[in-house]
Amino acid sequence: MSLDFLTSDGTPGVTRLVSTHLPTRHGDFQLLGYRDATGIDHVALTRGDVSATGGPAPLVRLHSECLTGDALGSYRCDCGEQLDAALQAIAHAGRGVLIYVRGHEGRGIGLMDKLRAYALQDSGVDTVDANTRLGVPVDARDYVQSAQILHELGSTRIRLLSSNPAKQMALEGLDIEVESRMRLNVADRAENSAYLATKRARMNHDSPPDRDAWDLLVDGRLPEGALSPDEEDLVLRYGPLVDGNPALVIAQLGQSLDGFIASRTGDACFVTGEEDRKHLHRLRALVDAVVVGAGTVQADDCQLTVRAVSGQNPVRVVVDPHARIPHTTTVLTDPRSRTFWLVGPDAVVPEEVEPHVSVHRFTEEADFEPASILRFLSGQGFDRVLIEGGGLTVSRFLRAGSLDRLYLTSAPLLVGDGVPGIRFDGTDALSGALSAPIRRFVLGDDVCTEFDFSSMRAATEPTQRAEQQDDTTGQH
């Protein structure tokens, strides 16, 4: 059944024709199909309750149709990367709308004229002058249909994902309150830098802020050129997590020198110091998802967000087979980041949870094994994972051989008795103790030791392959 939305003067606006869902690499979205008064079809992808009035306003992206960038992966513009970044930002926030506006190809001049403008740009004409030479507007778009869709959704107070002030002005003129306008973190490329520079110089688009080494690392890029000593230290420490690592599993744990992460009463505030907590937030900013056990959530009521440094919040993953975490805990009530609640077949969970929370019921005990959890997360599009706590959860992933790197920070404390940190079945002889290439970093009064298990595995794989070949040769 269609739903007509009328404009303020009573004339027909957009009509909602269909509602379904769309699973994507960034998670599930509600997919709504609309037709405007001119007969053009548009879609809106929504996440969470976008009509709710409490809390932060929903993130909204008005994305203009771009065949070359969105479908063909063109680097002449940044449209495809903006589309991907917007879906990722909305998914991480757990609440938002992306309106895919058709009829906006080439800033509204149409596909063929856009390609003709490309041909002129090939000879050195910029994007503004190319449109002028063709006798078409520099920007022919309007956002009436987008405002009507937002009104129909009840999203009249928004945070706009855009570098274009004209979009904000247009929406505000159509009774949409733009609480803030936020730039998507998409870097310029060599192929589109001149095009983007023209939009900033001649079309009033926002210029990107000066980007330091950390911003580039968060983007998955290694900084080039001269660096300050502090930036060199960041690249040395976190560069290996960025360089050529689309899939990565790391763990972090802070403990006393005698191996405890909390006192006998469970008090863990704070074992390590401020520099180690900042290090932990950097690790969160470099991954897609952060995994914790139910015990950590019960003991600490942790936020698992990025606050000490710049970067996006990872998805929070709580391993809780018996659904024993309190329903008032931060991960279940704070909408700043999505939460995946992994529970067992008989676990009792509330009939309704907050929009940012997804309950995933595992039916087999083996589903909670580290390798199975990582496969599940990879299937959800989360390939870069931080195992944060507590000691039992980190130890399980270590024991399973699932970690690429482990960051173990030792604080100058002797607790004597308490909640243990790393624990696993050892060997009778020290020669069989678990080892790997290490690096050490001083973090204030604490010392962080990084174990690189991926390098150890890479070193043993050629030997294992050679032994397998020898065995096969001997069988013939």
CA nearest to 199, candidates 76, 109, 72? 76
CB-CB neighbours of 446 under 10 Å: 22
> What local confidence, expressed as pLDDT, does residue 426 receive?
80
Read out DSSP for 57-89? PPEEEEEE--IIIIIS--SSSSHHHHHHHHHHH
| Residue 158 lies inside a defined structural domain of this protein | yes
Across 425-454, average pLDDT: 90
475 annotated binding-site participant: no
> What local confidence, expressed as pLDDT, does residue 123 receive?
94
* Average model confidence (pLDDT) across the chain: 89
Q: Do 186 and 257 have their domain in common?
A: no
Q: Do 198 and 313 have their domain in common?
A: no
Q: Do 259 and 190 have their domain in common?
A: no
369 annotated binding-site participant: no
For the question of residue 141 being annotated catalytic, the response is: yes
CATH of the domain at 404: 3.40.430.10
CA nearest to 157, candidates 30, 44, 45, 58? 58
CATH of the domain at 194: 3.40.50.10990
Which pair of structure tokens corresponds to residue 317? 């993953």
> What local confidence, expressed as pLDDT, does residue 168 receive?
96
Is the pLDDT reported for residue 200 higher than 70? yes
Catalytic entry in 139, 215, 276, 446? 139
Q: Do 306 and 196 have their domain in common?
A: no
**Percentage, residues of the chain above pLDDT 70:** 92
Helix (H) or strand (E) holding 96: strand 96-101
Across 163-185, average pLDDT: 93
The structural domain count of the chain equals 2
| Residue 41 lies inside a defined structural domain of this protein | yes
Is the pLDDT reported for residue 435 higher than 70? yes
Is the pLDDT reported for residue 465 higher than 50? no
Catalytic entry in 141, 159, 282, 338? 141
> What local confidence, expressed as pLDDT, does residue 476 receive?
40
Confidence of residue 42 (pLDDT cuts 50, 70, 90): very high
Q: Residue 100 class from Cβ within 10 Å (0-12 exposed, 13-18 middle, 19+ buried)?
A: buried
- 8-state DSSP, 368: G
**Integer Cα distance of 430 and 451 in angstroms:** 17
**Percentage, residues of the chain above pLDDT 90:** 68
Confidence of residue 9 (pLDDT cuts 50, 70, 90): low
302 annotated binding-site participant: no
Is the pLDDT reported for residue 1 higher than 70? no
Domain that holds residue 49: 14-104+141-203
CB 131 within 8 Å of CB 109: yes
Q: Do 41 and 99 have their domain in common?
A: yes
Tens digit of each residue's pLDDT (9 = 90 or more) over 358-369: 999 999 999 999
102 annotated binding-site participant: no
Q: Do 285 and 343 have their domain in common?
A: yes
| Residue 444 lies inside a defined structural domain of this protein | yes
Rounded to the nearest 5 degrees, what angle is found at the Cα of 461, between the Cα atoms of 460 and 463? 70
Question: Cα 134 to chain center, whole Å?
Answer: 40
For the question of residue 425 being annotated catalytic, the response is: no
